[in-house]
Structures are given as structure tokens and as C-alpha cells.
Structure 1
């Protein structure tokens, strides 16, 4: 059975994006970028909601060709292109991007498909996008949370956590600090 991870950068008040889908409040250091690169390289399948897919696919297909791209950005772009991706959306149309970017489009029940994918063999999966992760969270499918908190309050926007029907107990696996006061906490869901 595959493990499902959910992790993103978030503000101290718990948002992954400020109002207007603003994500410019985070200032990633080289060390933090390297951390995320290593996290992505360990993933066997990325699960994206539509909005995060549109953000990622607007830059990373050619991220290694951008002016000033350093070795870590080149590696991230190549890994992004090579890693299999499942995109969950009821509004996107499948196009030639699915073969070029190693992605499949799912338009049906996301929780049922994530459950099916999780039951299969392979490396860990990472869910990206707060709405898709929220559905997986409510269904009890998340095995690990990687919370990278930036020292900024944005006052609203897209929350990292969704409302749950009950408690989910977690075990702390790791705490780490990065330059600029950024703090990582990694938790595992108690089963």
C-alpha cells in the first residue's frame, strides 16, 4: 500500500495562499528549496488539484530553461517533468499536456480514485492543492503532513487544513528550522 503525504508552505495563521491566490509572501531560502526538491524526488506520484496544477504547469515544464536557473531549479524542473502526475478536475479538458508532462486527468470521484491509487504498489504519493488535500483529509487518507510555516500573517485566503468531522491524532516525526525563521514540522497520522 502506498503512503499519501500532504505538505506545503503556509503562513503562521495557516494559509497556503493569501487572498487573490497570492503566494508571494513566502521567501524560500536555497536550503528550503533544496528540502522541497528532495521531498519531490522521493515521490512516486504527484496528485494535483486544478489550481495548483495550473500554477505548477505554467512554470516547471521549462523551469530549467529560465534565466538564472541554478542547479537546484534545473533538477526540480526535470524531476517535475519526469514524475507521474494525476490531475483532478471537473473543468479541464485532456489535451496534449498529458503525454508531454507525464500526467493523467481524472474527472470523477477524487476520493475513490485516491483510495484506489493508494491501494496500489509504488513509492509514496504527494497530494498538492488545499481543496484536493481537504477531500483526502476528510476521508482519512493522509498518512503524513509536512507543515512548513513561514513567519508571516496573511489574514485570510486558502487554508492548509480543512474542517474535519472528528479528531485526527498525529505523531511528531521531525522538527527543523530554515533561514528566515521558517519552521518545518512533520507529523504522521496515528492508525
Structure 2
């Protein structure tokens, strides 16, 4: 059975709007390196509509044109090389070779989890509570940025979980930029 992971950049106060993070060049390199290494064990990424539209076509263009920093280019190449599923009721199409799934994300992830392969990475804040409740997320990779933002989308909205989810800390990485990467597994 495949492992399902969830990874996200968040502020110290739990917000995950990537537009509020302004890491230094060194901090950006560290974060891109961390997520690029994490993707070495991933062969499928599941996006929700919002994250898909934030990530593409930006990273596809960076990969194609090599228009970012060396670290961004490596991240873009790795990200675009991985198979993708986009779960959305409102999108009409997705960029090939991604596959669009319109309904029942829990059953889709269950099915994918049973197939042979490497890890599956979930990249959707809106699907997170539903997938946690269905006990489908095995690991969490959170990169906490040293900033308080006080607004935006929270990682987990209040009241969206009906039970506590106990996790075990597996690894911690402290970056020179002040970001801290935390890797948890379900206990």
C-alpha cells in the first residue's frame, strides 16, 4: 500500500497563503531544496483546483524556459515530471498529462493508495479535512516560516475536524533562514 503525504508552507500562526511569505534568496533555496528532495519519493501528486491553478502553468513555464533560479528550475523540473491528478468539480480541463477527477475524492485516493508505486503527495488545503477524517493521510511535511500574518487561508479551518489526530514527530530540519521543516506520521 502506498503512503499518502501532505506538504505545505505555513506561517507561524497557521496560514498557508504562499503570497505572504517573503523568504530571502537563501531561505527560498532551502525551501525549494526541501520540497524537491521530498518529491524524490513521490510519483503522483493530487491537487485541488486552487492549488493546481496556483502551481500551473507557472511551474510548467519555469521548467520549460529554465527561467527561475537554479533551485527553482530543479523544483519545477521535478514537479512537472510527476504524474498528477486534479480533483475539481468546476474545472473543465487540466494541462496534460494531468488527469481530472470530478467527484468522490476519498474513494479516488483509496483506489490510488492500493495501486503499486511510490508515495502520493496531496497538495490541497480544501481536501485536507475530508482526507484526514477518512484516515488517508499518513505523513505531514510542514515548513513553518518565521512570520505572523493574521489573515488568509488557515491550514485547518476551525471546526473542520471532528476528532484529534495524534501524530509522531519523525524529523525536524532548521533552516538558516529561520524556517523549520517538521515531518510527522500518524501515530
Relative to the length of structure 2, the TM-score reads 0.90
Matches within 5 A, 1:133-144: 133-144=128-139
Correspondence for 2:176 among 164, 176, 179: 179
Instruction: Write the distance in 2 (CA, Å) between the matches of 1:29 and 1:41.
Output: 19
Instruction: Write the distance in 1 (CA, Å) between the matches of 2:21 and 2:170.
Output: 27
Query: Are the aligned partners of 2:66 and 2:73 in contact in 1 as well (CA < 8 Å)?
Result: no
User: The residue matched to 2:137 in structure 1 has which SS?
Assistant: coil
User: The residue matched to 1:44 in structure 2 has which SS?
Assistant: strand
1:40 aligns with 2:39: yes
In structure 2, the residue matched to 1:56 is 55
Relative to the length of structure 1, the TM-score reads 0.88
In structure 2, the residue matched to 1:88 is 87
User: The residue matched to 2:19 in structure 1 has which SS?
Assistant: coil
Instruction: Write the distance in 1 (CA, Å) between the matches of 2:77 and 2:178.
Output: 29
Instruction: Write the distance in 1 (CA, Å) between the matches of 2:131 and 2:22.
Output: 25
* Cα distance change on mapping 1:154 and 1:52 into 2, 3 Å: same
Aligned length: 181
In structure 2, the residue matched to 1:6 is 6
For structure 2, list consecutive stretches of 5 or more residues without a partner in the other structure.
Answer: none
User: The residue matched to 2:53 in structure 1 has which SS?
Assistant: helix
Instruction: Write the distance in 1 (CA, Å) between the matches of 2:155 and 2:169.
Output: 18
Stretches of 4+ aligned residues off by more than 4 angstroms: none
For structure 1, list consecutive stretches of 5 or more residues without a partner in the other structure.
Answer: none
Tell me how large the CA RMSD over aligned residues is.
Answer: 1.6
- TM-aligned CA deviation for residue 24 of structure 1: 3.1
Provide, for residues 49-87 of structure 1, a one-character-per-residue CA deviation record: whole Å limited to 9, x for no partner. Answer: 0000001113011113154x2332222222222100000
* Cα distance change on mapping 1:26 and 1:189 into 2, 3 Å: farther
- TM-aligned CA deviation for residue 170 of structure 1: 1.0
User: The residue matched to 1:8 in structure 2 has which SS?
Assistant: strand
Matches within 5 A, 1:107-118: 107-118=102-113
User: The residue matched to 2:127 in structure 1 has which SS?
Assistant: helix
In structure 2, the residue matched to 1:132 is 127
